[in-house]
Amino acid sequence: MATTRIEPMTSLQLRVLVIAILSSFVAFLDGAVINVALPAISKELGGGLQLQQWVVDAYLVTLGSLILIAGSLSDVFGRKRVLYAGLIGFGVTSLLCAFAPSGVFLVLARALQGVAGALLVPSSLAIIISRFEGPAQAKAIGRWTAWTGIAMIAGPVVGGLFVDTLGWRWVFVINVVPIAVTLLLLRTVHVADHGMGGRVDIAGAILGSVGLAGTVFALIEQGTFGWASPRVWIPLVVGLLSLAAFFVVETRVKQPMLPLGLFRVHNFWVGNIATFFVYGALSFGPLVVTLFLQQVAGFSAIAAGFVFIPSTLCMLLLSGFFGGLAGRYGPRLFMAVGPVIAAGGFLWLMTMGTDVNYWTTLLPAVLLFGVGLAITVAPLTSAILGAIHPEQAGIASAVNNAVSRIAGLLAIAAIGMIVGGTLNEAGLHRAMLAGALLLLVGGVVSAIGIRNGVPAAEKVQTVTD
């Protein structure tokens, strides 16, 4: 098979890539850095497992539901303007989290932080799509994916250092530094900032948000009140009806926040199904392991955070490489094999008990997990966005990121049902099996459904819808 030579990046492309990485990195990092801080937050503010779930999911509810409308905002009003708004909003809400006086205040601040985070991710990826083409675009996406993926895995490391040395509130304060750097860099580059105009789908945003919030509320609170309680089944019914209404509205409005025509593109809809399963496992597994190591195995926050450093290094060293290979040879093989290898890491963790041996249990498992993710995530992103016309890069990246966040949101909300009311050894093993099954399904979906090479007609079709 012939290969295509990738030209070196220009100075402008390098700065655009750095801006895109920093903008999305802070949003992904904050979603992961919280993991090791949860026991300390619960100890100071109370609330137990439910508060821990809500501190994570309040962020993911707003991020997952509003990232779609944020993608539309990026396309309508311009990527640079939306990036500015998201960065400033994220900095302000991070400080609100840092100074939260109660659990309820922290959950509300985390929800607002998710709103700002929703503005960052689609715009940052869209500016990459606008400045890179062909194999160079695939490699740039690979580097972006490496750093955003690293944020999700390295978050516990950063969080552990701050929790054990300065306190859990500092995991939010630190966000101000990369935000300030990104704002300064953004002033030094010219990024196309003319939006396409049009309207924003407010009805869709409201229905999507209510639908996710009601469903997640029921999943988390059923452990306390039971499914028969009106406090559980009423929000569940409202949530499900709102989600159904959301899809109906999206077929009728002129400019929907979720253009269903995108899903006529084969690799786009198949890739998003794979994303749902892979990222559900990615959000769910490390969180459960981190909580188990601190609350059951007796690890400090720093020690628990450092457990995933090997996975971080795998992502850092290999994601760009596999992103480039996917650009040359097609993404299907990588998307099929990677999740299977990552699932092996979760299955290995089923040998772990309360007396943990790092060298024989944790290290091999996290290495398998990291290598599998490095093989998977860049080709996955390239397959999905490479099938879409660049003019719709903002909304397409928003849909893909919404799918990944919603997958994590629902998986984390289901922790109580899988591990039980109290996390123990048996609950950990059930969680690892569930995570491995999610990854395996993602790999099978990719192996069967992903096509190498996207016909140009498919790209044109999405624009004319």
Give the span between the Cα atoms of 277 and 445, in whole angstroms: 9
In sequence order, which residues have a C-beta less than 8 Å from that of residue 8 and are 6 or more positions away?
A: none
pLDDT mean over 316-332 = 85
Residue 278 — very low, low, confident or very high, per pLDDT cuts 50/70/90? very high
Average of pLDDT values for 102-129? 85
58-67, 82-91, 116-125, 432-441 — which one is most confidently predicted on average? Answer: 432-441
pLDDT in tens, 297-319: 989 988 988 888 888 788 778 88
Distance CA 64, CA 114 (A): 8
3-state secondary structure 336-393: HHHHHHHHHHHHHHHHCCCCCCHHHHHHHHHHHHHHHHHHHHHHHHHHHHCCCCHHHH
* H/E run at residue 150: helix 134-165
Question: Is pLDDT of 176 > 50?
Answer: yes
**Whole-number Å distance between alpha carbons of 339 and 371:** 9
Tokens encoding 192: 């196309």
Cα distances (Å, whole numbers) of residue 127 to 81, 96, 121: 12, 29, 10
Q: Which domains does the chain have, with CATH numbers?
A: 12-190+255-464 (1.20.1250.20), 202-254 (no CATH)
pLDDT in tens, 137-171: 777 877 877 777 667 666 777 788 889 999 999 99
**Three-class SS of residue 2?**
coil
For residue 63, give the DSSP letter: H
More confident residue, 243 or 315: 243
Instruction: Evaluate if residue 455 carries a pLDDT over 50.
Output: no
Name, in order, each residue with C-beta under 8 angstroms of 367's C-beta and a sequence gap of 6 or more: 310, 311, 314, 345
